[in-house]
Amino acid sequence: MTNQIEIRIAKREPFACGHAFEGSGVYEKLAGRAHFAVDPLAAAQAGIVDLGKAPINDSGLVEFAADLIILKPADMAQGNGRLFFDYGNRGNIRALQFFNDAPGSNDPSTLDHAGNGFLMRRGYSIVWGAWQGDLLPGDGRMLLDVPIARNCDGSPITGPVRSEFIVEAPGQTCMPLSSRASTRSHPVVSLDTKAAKLTRRRYPDDPRELISADQWAFARVEGGVGLDNQGAELAIVPSNMHVYLPTGFEPGWIYEIVYAARDPQVLGLGHVAVRDLVSFLKYDSKDAAGNVNPLANAIEKAYCWGRSQTGRCIRDSIYRGFNADVEGRKVFDGALSHVAGGGLMWMNHRFANVISQAGQQYEERDNIADRFPFSYAESTDHLTDETDAICKRPDTDPFIFHTQTATEYWQRHGSLVHTDTQGNDLPLPENVRAYLWASSQHFANPRLTSPARGICQNVVNVVRTSMFFRALLDAMDRWVTHGTPPPDSRIPTRADGTLVDFKKWRETFPAIQGVATPREPSSLYRFNFGPEAANGILSQQPPRIANTPGYTILVPAVDADGNDVAGIRAPMVQAPLATYTGWNIRTRGHGEGATHEFTGSTIPLPETTSMREATGDPRPAILERYPDAAAYQRAITVAAERLATEGFMLEEDVDRATVDAKDWDRRRHGITL
């Protein structure tokens, strides 16, 4: 049997009120759903966990469906013949934010949503297709409906599930078992709390403190307004998808629940959804129902982009062989994986929680997502003697840009992308380039105007990097289309001394008064999730640490200011007003001393010589570097022009960088000069 796809377009309208973009003209927006039916026994779906336990239709196929949005030139002849697939992030549309510097929206419709218009001016057909099957409706998220697996006799499949909660504010008494409101929870088998364990601990390595079964419940809180002047009222309602703690979850503590769950979804179908959708749009003229492909005969090349969770999803898909369609044809010609670190996915597993963070120093550390292989290149896991690689299918592996920030080295085991498991330099395959975006953080909001601290000790990292997306997409297109090699990888290495262990980093980082530094980068152990973990069944929860000290994690070396030496150094890093790091430290009451999620820091330079002397700051003052605001702006322009010459910025972004640097870039730095 052959996989089937049917595209049902529910809405078709002009995008941005019919605005004509330079070079490509008017765009139109199509919205609807893609309906899939796949053969659970076919080799193309081999390895999808529990697919053989999903319900089938009269033709013996498993059905599922995904939300779909397409922005394309109304006249495809004015397009560039390129499909750009945005994996988004947890159901949210992301590419327009980062390639076009646009405001975030899950319903891009207006000219404002087009931002600077980059992707449209280049003529891309931009596609969003849902791939994450455990999301709930709300906030315009893109949804993938996948089946629930059951035993052959129709009885529910059950198994252990573990979830982690960390709240940031007092007063929260109820949490979904998935830990996130946007995500489906695996329902409990029994509401009896004695059959489950709820624990808490201050730090990941601390002993778990058991919370007595009579102190909490599987329940949710409902609220409203009572009658007879009663005011607000609450009800505690039994729930198989929520945990209720009457005394409240204490901020900063790591809460963990382990329970028996039922009804797992076949979440690995997310890879199939992307593969079959993009293959159809790229190669076919009509769908299974005879509907015309809206991009028929107009697509020559297809590229995908994902950041963080979806950067990992791209890596996972390539590793599992899903860049070959059911006929063995290449799906994506080029893949851009951003801030994935060394991770894959916790997705093609029974009772997966796809929305979860992949594991940092403090949060979600005991997660299966970061597992061997970490690199695109072949290497051997020194803890198991297993040899493997993400790229191992040269006929269908795409060209790949792996981009990561300083945060990925500190929190997401990013060094393992280009080292072996003991920290030795590992040459990347010819189809792969890796780039460190030096001294920047995981989420660099292009429209940031009011940087804040949150529950961290420092203001967030404010380095602008979105211009790199634009230049690298152009470079990818030249590589795929004309064979023009992109710039060589720019990453820290052991060979040149720019990739170092924590001790060496600590010796080099400047001693800045009042600034706490990490005690180490996020460590990575090899975990034992049970004997069937390789088959997607995690029977040991929580997992046991199988090997210590685990894998070797290294970080970028820094200069006298504390900024990364290697990598692509943004204009703001080449001409700094601060020390910009990929890490930030949690405050008291919130895991003090541990690094926080994916947050970097901006540690301002002293503004004047007298300020530097008064504080004992070892870094030269701002006015010792740039005599006035105009000199700073010139330094930024020179740095931007250098990057444009090297192929990492577009000429249009040189002008933007110059404008942003006017008057000391006060919107981001708060300079008082």
Q: What is the pLDDT of residues 298-316, one digit of tens each?
A: 999 999 999 999 999 999 9
pLDDT tens sequence across 517-530: 999 999 999 999 99
Say which DSSP state 308 is in.
Answer: T
Among candidate residues 262, 288, 307, the one where a domain is terminated: 262
The 3-state DSSP class for residue 653 equals helix
Which one, of 494, 617, 607, lies nearest residue 556 by Cα?
494
Phi, psi of 97 (to 5 degrees): -65, -40
- Is there a single domain that holds both residue 103 and residue 222? no
How many Cβ atoms sit within 10 Å of the Cβ of residue 59? 10
Residue 370 maps to a domain: no
Residue given tokens 């996989």 in the structure block = 3
- Please tell me the predicted confidence (pLDDT) of residue 152: 93
- Is there a single domain that holds both residue 17 and residue 133? yes
Residue 37 maps to a domain: yes
- Please tell me the predicted confidence (pLDDT) of residue 178: 97
Residue given tokens 């051997």 in the structure block = 380
Q: Which domain holds residue 218?
A: 158-262
- Please tell me the predicted confidence (pLDDT) of residue 1: 58
- Please tell me the predicted confidence (pLDDT) of residue 2: 83
- Is there a single domain that holds both residue 270 and residue 258? no
- Is there a single domain that holds both residue 2 and residue 136? yes
- Is there a single domain that holds both residue 103 and residue 2? yes
- Please tell me the predicted confidence (pLDDT) of residue 374: 98
- Is there a single domain that holds both residue 194 and residue 291? no
- Is there a single domain that holds both residue 62 and residue 124? yes
Residue 100 maps to a domain: yes
- Is there a single domain that holds both residue 257 and residue 273? no
Residue 83 maps to a domain: yes
- Is there a single domain that holds both residue 67 and residue 200? no
- Is there a single domain that holds both residue 99 and residue 208? no
Q: Which stretches of 351-492 are DSSP H helices?
A: 406-411, 466-482
- Is there a single domain that holds both residue 44 and residue 126? yes
Residue 271 maps to a domain: yes
Q: How many domains does the chain have?
A: 2
Cβ atoms 413, 374 nearer than 8 A: yes
pTM over 0.85: yes
- Is there a single domain that holds both residue 111 and residue 207? no
- Please tell me the predicted confidence (pLDDT) of residue 211: 98
Cα diameter, the chain: 81
Ordered mean pLDDT values, 10 residues apiece, the chain (673 residues)? 92 97 98 98 96 97 98 98 97 97 97 98 98 97 98 97 95 96 97 98 96 98 86 93 97 97 98 98 97 97 98 98 97 98 97 93 94 98 97 98 98 98 98 98 94 96 98 98 98 98 98 96 96 96 92 98 98 98 96 96 98 97 98 98 98 97 95 94
